[in-house]
Chains A and B, each alone.
Chain A
Amino acid sequence: MRREPPQTLGDYSPLLFPAAMLTIFFVVPFGTMIAVSFFQREQGGFYTPAFVFDNYQRFLSAFFGGVLGFSLMMAIAVAVCCVVLALPFTYLLTRMARRVQIVWLVALLSILSLSEVIIGFAWSTLFSRTAGITNILVALGLMGEAKALTPSFAAVLTGMVYQAFPYTVLVLFPALVRLDPTLTEAARTLGASPLKAFFTVVVPALRNTIVATLIMVFIFALGSYLLPQLLGRPQHWTLSVLITDQAIYQSNMPFAAAMAVFLVLVTLGLVALTVIAGRKGETA
Chain B
Amino acid sequence: MTSVFRKFYFFLIALFLALPLIVVAGVSVNQKQTLAFPPEGFSTSWYGEIFLNTEWRNALFASVTLAVLSAALAVAIALPLAWFLWRRVAPWANIFQLLGVAPFTLPPVITALGLLTFWATAGFYGQPWTAVVSHAIFFVTLPLVTLSLGFTSIDRSLVEAAATMGADERTIFRTVVLPLILPYVVSGYAFAFVLSLNEYIVAYMTVGFTMETLPIKIFNALRYGYTPTMASVTVLFVSTAAVIFGLVARFGDLPKLLGAMASDQK
Residues of A within 8 A of B (CB): 1-6, 11, 14-15, 17-19, 21-23, 25-30, 32-33, 36, 85, 88-89, 92, 98, 101-102, 105-111, 113-126, 128, 130-133, 135, 162, 165-166, 170-175, 177, 194-195, 212, 216, 219, 222-223, 225-226, 230, 240, 243-244, 247-248, 253, 256-257, 260, 263-264, 267, 271, 274-275, 278
Whole-angstrom distance between the Cβ of B111 and the nearest chain A Cβ: 8
B114 CB within 8 Å of chain A: yes
> In the complex the two chains form, is B222's CB within 8 Å of A18's CB?
no
Q: Which of B196-228 contact A (CB under 8 A)?
A: 198-201, 204-205, 208, 215-216, 218-219, 222
B262 CB within 8 Å of chain A: yes
Report the Cα distance A27→B175, complex, angstroms. Answer: 35
Report the Cα distance A98→B256, complex, angstroms. Answer: 12
| Known contacts A1-B163, A22-B137, A243-B113, A126 near B245 by CB under 8 Å | no
Report the Cα distance A136→B1, complex, angstroms. Answer: 30
Q: Is the interface of A mostly helix, strand, loop or mixed?
A: helix
Whole-angstrom distance between the Cβ of A125 and the nearest chain B Cβ: 6
> In the complex the two chains form, is A3's CB within 8 Å of B259's CB?
no
Whole-angstrom distance between the Cβ of B6 and the nearest chain A Cβ: 6
Report the Cα distance A122→B37, complex, angstroms. Answer: 12
B48 CB within 8 Å of chain A: no
B44 CB within 8 Å of chain A: no
Chain A residues near B2 (CB, 8 Å)? 194-195
B72 CB within 8 Å of chain A: no
Chain A residues near B255 (CB, 8 Å)? 98, 101-102, 105, 173, 177
> In the complex the two chains form, is B113's CB within 8 Å of A257's CB?
yes
> In the complex the two chains form, is B237's CB within 8 Å of A14's CB?
no
| Known contacts A3-B87, A162-B17, A223-B107, A122 near B96 by CB under 8 Å | no
Q: Who on chain A is nearest to B240 by CB?
A: A110
Q: A117-B200, A170-B262, A240-B107 are in contact. List 17 more A-B contacts (CB 8 A).
A: A1-B159, A1-B163, A15-B80, A15-B93, A17-B76, A18-B84, A28-B118, A33-B118, A101-B255, A108-B17, A113-B195, A114-B198, A116-B201, A130-B34, A219-B105, A257-B113, A267-B106
Report the Cα distance A102→B252, complex, angstroms. Answer: 11
> In the complex the two chains form, is B234's CB within 8 Å of A5's CB?
no
> In the complex the two chains form, is A130's CB within 8 Å of B36's CB?
yes
Q: Is the interface of B mostly helix, strand, loop or mixed?
A: helix
Interface hub of B76, B99, B114 (most chain A Cβ within 10 A): B114
> In the complex the two chains form, is B23's CB within 8 Å of A18's CB?
no
> In the complex the two chains form, is A26's CB within 8 Å of B102's CB?
yes
Report the Cα distance A195→B9, complex, angstroms. Answer: 14
Contact of B259 among A133, A135, A174, A253 (CB under 8 A): A174
Contact of A85 among B13, B83, B198, B230 (CB under 8 A): B13
Whole-angstrom distance between the Cβ of A85 and the nearest chain B Cβ: 7
| Known contacts A3-B87, A15-B80, A131-B35, A29 near B200 by CB under 8 Å | no
For the complex of A and B, 7 pairs with smallest distance between CB atoms: A223-B107, A131-B37, A29-B118, A122-B20, A29-B114, A18-B81, A14-B80
Whole-angstrom distance between the Cβ of B239 and the nearest chain A Cβ: 8
Residue-wise, chain B 16-48 has the 8 Å CB interface mask toward A (1 for contact) of 110111011011000000111110000000000
Chain A residues near B230 (CB, 8 Å)? 121
Report the Cα distance A38→B235, complex, angstroms. Answer: 44
Residue-wise, chain B 158-181 has the 8 Å CB interface mask toward A (1 for contact) of 011011000000001000000000
Report the Cα distance A22→B86, complex, angstroms. Answer: 19
Contact of B215 among A18, A118, A253, A260 (CB under 8 A): A118
B64 CB within 8 Å of chain A: no
Chain A residues near B36 (CB, 8 Å)? 130-131
Whole-angstrom distance between the Cβ of A273 and the nearest chain B Cβ: 12
Report the Cα distance A132→B26, complex, angstroms. Answer: 11
Contact of A29 among B27, B86, B115, B160 (CB under 8 A): B115
Contact of A30 among B114, B199, B242 (CB under 8 A): B114
> In the complex the two chains form, is A216's CB within 8 Å of B17's CB?
no
Contact of A3 among B16, B86, B218 (CB under 8 A): B86
> In the complex the two chains form, is A222's CB within 8 Å of B262's CB?
no
